[in-house]
Structure 1
């Protein structure tokens, strides 16, 4: 079956799948082969692996943040304050097929991460911080700037624990722990 999407999109789709499932150690030759593009076409769109990694991380950021905010908002409309719904959303994510942790935490574990990709990770962290700050401020907690750092530690810790857990029950326990800690913060 012939590929139906344009080469840059096929390359990015393939990189998105491979990098998220297997990590950034996946080689360019494999991305090229599985995206069914010529090497020259690949390098025309992505001059280096660093460019592709940065594009992958930008895409993951946009998709994940859009999903995260939409799910928190939807659950807040049904069940109450956004801050306390974060754990519910994490539970959904941890239980989803293909959960492999945070692409951004995983990328930071790669010692060879190029500055352009580190900048994308930093922007993701900044936007997540701003989003969580809005949730903290919405429930009127002070000092919001300090508390958001606590929320980030809870969220990041739950993500890492869920990723490294041996089974779904342990991943759900990480989300439950995050829920209890976030509920205490919200009081």
Structure 2
């Protein structure tokens, strides 16, 4: 299901909004600049005035996505400053909400990597840096929850979340979001029972 366009937005924001809808729905390779311009109620010339190439537009879109993920963690930190477990569960809930979205096509970062085989493409470096930052934040939360082997726990949680995104896309198991939530909650309960009060 395609996102609604917002004609009141300035041209640059309309273009990014249209690109996001099309990239999420069809992938980056199949989407032309003409299609982005049409959905943005703009022209191809206007697209190129704001973005010198489609690759630049892809990078801008990905930067926005990474900012959204960081923003979620920032909001959770502000809402639950002394409850790292609630921050972690809140981030899992955000991932699950995305998995359950109608027409879910998988993780946009993973899909983009699959469509950009060139290791030197700047989008690949951007995604890698984002995933490393996210892992560092999960490790920090795990350090605040578990005293022993926080990095190993963060690795486990990362693999669970990334795996749930793939399973939601390939439909290999029903209800991957519920399964992911249960697994993380069990992990938290197991660890909290071992922590000194």
Query: Do they superpose with TM above 0.5?
Result: yes
Out of 37, 42, 48, which is 2:47 matched to? 42
TM score, norm. by length of structure 2: 0.76
Q: 1:140 to 1:185 in 2, by over 3 A?
A: closer
Instruction: Give the superposition deviation at 1:9.
Output: 0.9
Query: Where in structure 2 are there 5+ consecutive unaligned residues?
Result: 1-5
TM score, norm. by length of structure 1: 0.80
Determine if contact 1:11/1:32 at 8 Å carries over to the other structure. yes
Q: 1:30 to 1:154 in 2, by over 3 A?
A: same
Query: Where in structure 1 are there 5+ consecutive unaligned residues?
Result: none
Question: Are residues 1:101 and 2:106 paired?
Answer: yes
1:1-187 map, 5 Å: 3-25=7-29, 26-71=31-76, 74=79, 80-97=85-102, 99-112=104-117, 115-165=121-171, 169-181=175-187, 183-184=189-190
Question: Greater share of helix residues, 1 or 2?
Answer: 1
Compute the RMSD of aligned alpha carbons. Answer: 3.1
Q: Which has the higher contact order (CA 8 A, sep 6+)?
A: 1
Instruction: Give the superposition deviation at 1:11.
Output: 0.7
Q: 1:69 to 1:156 in 2, by over 3 A?
A: farther
The alignment of Structure 1 onto Structure 2 pairs a total of residues equal to: 186
Q: 1:20 to 1:175 in 2, by over 3 A?
A: farther
